[in-house]
Amino acid sequence: MAIEIERKFLVINDNWRSLGQGKVYKQGYISTGKKMTTIRVRIIGEKAYLTIKSKTEGISRHEFEYPIPLEDAQIMLNSLCDRPLIEKIRYKINHDNLLWEIDEFQGENKGLILAEVELENENQMLNIPDWVGEEVSHDPRYYNVNLVKYPYQRW
Protein backbone atom coordinates (compact mmCIF):
# COMPACT_ATOMS: atom_id res chain seq x y z
CA MET A 1 0.00 0.00 0.00
CA ALA A 2 1.42 3.40 -1.02
CA ILE A 3 0.99 6.43 1.22
CA GLU A 4 1.66 9.96 0.01
CA ILE A 5 2.69 12.45 2.69
CA GLU A 6 2.89 15.87 1.08
CA ARG A 7 3.11 19.51 2.09
CA LYS A 8 2.11 22.27 -0.30
CA PHE A 9 3.18 25.93 -0.33
CA LEU A 10 2.76 29.09 -2.36
CA VAL A 11 5.86 30.23 -4.26
CA ILE A 12 6.78 33.84 -3.45
CA ASN A 13 9.63 34.72 -5.85
CA ASP A 14 11.58 33.50 -8.89
CA ASN A 15 14.76 32.38 -7.09
CA TRP A 16 13.96 28.74 -7.99
CA ARG A 17 13.82 29.25 -11.77
CA SER A 18 17.52 28.62 -12.44
CA LEU A 19 17.55 25.44 -10.32
CA GLY A 20 15.70 23.00 -12.57
CA GLN A 21 14.27 22.24 -16.01
CA GLY A 22 10.52 22.07 -16.48
CA LYS A 23 8.35 19.41 -18.11
CA VAL A 24 4.85 19.93 -19.46
CA TYR A 25 2.11 18.04 -17.61
CA LYS A 26 -1.46 17.62 -18.78
CA GLN A 27 -3.91 15.93 -16.46
CA GLY A 28 -7.57 15.43 -15.86
CA TYR A 29 -9.89 13.92 -13.29
CA ILE A 30 -12.60 11.34 -13.78
CA SER A 31 -15.60 11.95 -11.52
CA THR A 32 -16.17 9.19 -8.99
CA GLY A 33 -19.24 10.56 -7.24
CA LYS A 34 -17.30 10.28 -3.98
CA LYS A 35 -15.58 13.29 -2.47
CA MET A 36 -12.94 11.12 -0.85
CA THR A 37 -11.52 9.36 -3.92
CA THR A 38 -9.92 10.87 -7.01
CA ILE A 39 -8.96 9.23 -10.28
CA ARG A 40 -6.37 11.15 -12.27
CA VAL A 41 -5.15 10.67 -15.83
CA ARG A 42 -1.80 12.32 -16.52
CA ILE A 43 0.48 12.74 -19.51
CA ILE A 44 4.11 13.79 -19.04
CA GLY A 45 5.84 14.06 -22.40
CA GLU A 46 5.34 10.65 -24.06
CA LYS A 47 4.43 8.79 -20.86
CA ALA A 48 1.01 8.38 -19.29
CA TYR A 49 -0.28 7.33 -15.87
CA LEU A 50 -3.52 6.48 -14.10
CA THR A 51 -3.55 7.42 -10.40
CA ILE A 52 -6.10 6.67 -7.71
CA LYS A 53 -5.94 8.69 -4.48
CA SER A 54 -7.91 8.41 -1.26
CA LYS A 55 -9.23 11.25 0.85
CA THR A 56 -6.50 13.33 2.47
CA GLU A 57 -6.16 12.87 6.22
CA GLY A 58 -3.93 15.65 7.59
CA ILE A 59 -1.20 15.69 4.94
CA SER A 60 -1.36 11.94 4.12
CA ARG A 61 -3.39 9.77 1.75
CA HIS A 62 -3.22 6.48 -0.09
CA GLU A 63 -1.92 6.79 -3.64
CA PHE A 64 -1.72 4.13 -6.36
CA GLU A 65 -0.16 5.03 -9.72
CA TYR A 66 0.16 2.87 -12.82
CA PRO A 67 1.64 3.47 -16.28
CA ILE A 68 -0.92 3.24 -19.09
CA PRO A 69 -0.66 3.49 -22.89
CA LEU A 70 -0.31 7.08 -24.10
CA GLU A 71 -3.15 6.67 -26.61
CA ASP A 72 -5.50 5.46 -23.85
CA ALA A 73 -4.60 8.47 -21.69
CA GLN A 74 -5.29 10.88 -24.57
CA ILE A 75 -8.72 9.30 -25.14
CA MET A 76 -9.50 9.48 -21.41
CA LEU A 77 -8.43 13.14 -21.21
CA ASN A 78 -10.54 14.01 -24.25
CA SER A 79 -13.66 12.05 -23.39
CA LEU A 80 -13.83 11.05 -19.70
CA CYS A 81 -12.22 13.86 -17.70
CA ASP A 82 -13.89 16.91 -16.21
CA ARG A 83 -13.04 20.31 -17.66
CA PRO A 84 -10.89 22.32 -17.62
CA LEU A 85 -7.90 20.03 -17.74
CA ILE A 86 -4.95 20.88 -15.53
CA GLU A 87 -2.04 22.19 -17.57
CA LYS A 88 1.22 22.99 -15.85
CA ILE A 89 4.97 23.01 -16.13
CA ARG A 90 6.61 21.03 -13.32
CA TYR A 91 10.13 21.74 -12.17
CA LYS A 92 11.95 19.29 -9.88
CA ILE A 93 14.47 20.85 -7.53
CA ASN A 94 16.62 19.18 -4.89
CA HIS A 95 16.93 21.24 -1.73
CA ASP A 96 18.37 20.04 1.58
CA ASN A 97 18.14 16.35 0.54
CA LEU A 98 14.46 16.63 -0.43
CA LEU A 99 12.85 16.79 -3.85
CA TRP A 100 10.66 19.86 -4.29
CA GLU A 101 8.20 20.00 -7.19
CA ILE A 102 7.27 23.46 -8.43
CA ASP A 103 4.07 23.60 -10.49
CA GLU A 104 3.63 26.66 -12.70
CA PHE A 105 0.02 26.42 -13.84
CA GLN A 106 -1.18 27.34 -17.32
CA GLY A 107 -4.63 27.70 -18.89
CA GLU A 108 -7.43 28.65 -16.49
CA ASN A 109 -5.06 28.34 -13.51
CA LYS A 110 -2.37 30.61 -14.97
CA GLY A 111 -0.76 32.81 -12.34
CA LEU A 112 -0.69 30.10 -9.67
CA ILE A 113 2.69 28.65 -8.71
CA LEU A 114 2.84 25.97 -6.00
CA ALA A 115 5.71 24.08 -4.38
CA GLU A 116 5.15 20.56 -3.06
CA VAL A 117 7.44 18.29 -1.11
CA GLU A 118 6.82 14.64 -0.23
CA LEU A 119 7.90 13.50 3.21
CA GLU A 120 8.66 10.18 4.88
CA ASN A 121 6.44 10.99 7.87
CA GLU A 122 4.07 13.77 8.92
CA ASN A 123 6.45 15.07 11.60
CA GLN A 124 9.54 15.26 9.38
CA MET A 125 11.47 18.51 9.88
CA LEU A 126 11.80 20.72 6.84
CA ASN A 127 14.29 23.41 5.81
CA ILE A 128 12.09 25.82 3.82
CA PRO A 129 13.78 27.38 0.73
CA ASP A 130 13.73 31.17 0.36
CA TRP A 131 11.31 30.94 -2.59
CA VAL A 132 8.64 29.18 -0.50
CA GLY A 133 5.92 31.18 1.26
CA GLU A 134 2.63 30.39 2.97
CA GLU A 135 1.75 26.74 3.53
CA VAL A 136 -1.54 25.75 1.88
CA SER A 137 -1.47 21.99 2.60
CA HIS A 138 -4.80 22.18 4.44
CA ASP A 139 -6.53 24.53 1.99
CA PRO A 140 -8.57 22.39 -0.44
CA ARG A 141 -8.72 25.22 -3.01
CA TYR A 142 -5.14 24.32 -3.96
CA TYR A 143 -5.78 20.61 -4.60
CA ASN A 144 -5.46 19.96 -8.33
CA VAL A 145 -8.80 18.19 -8.40
CA ASN A 146 -10.44 21.36 -7.01
CA LEU A 147 -8.59 23.61 -9.46
CA VAL A 148 -10.66 21.84 -12.13
CA LYS A 149 -13.92 22.79 -10.41
CA TYR A 150 -12.81 26.27 -9.31
CA PRO A 151 -9.89 27.45 -11.50
CA TYR A 152 -7.50 29.98 -9.98
CA GLN A 153 -8.37 32.71 -12.51
CA ARG A 154 -11.98 32.72 -11.24
CA TRP A 155 -11.10 33.32 -7.56
Report helix, strand or coil for 43.
Answer: strand
Q: Which of 83, 105, 96, 94 shows the shortest CA–CA distance to 150?
A: 83
Q: Which of 13, 27, 12 shows the shortest CA–CA distance to 89?
A: 27
Task: Write out the catalytic residue numbers.
Answer: 29
Residues 6 or more apart in contact with residue 149 via CB below 8 angstroms: 82
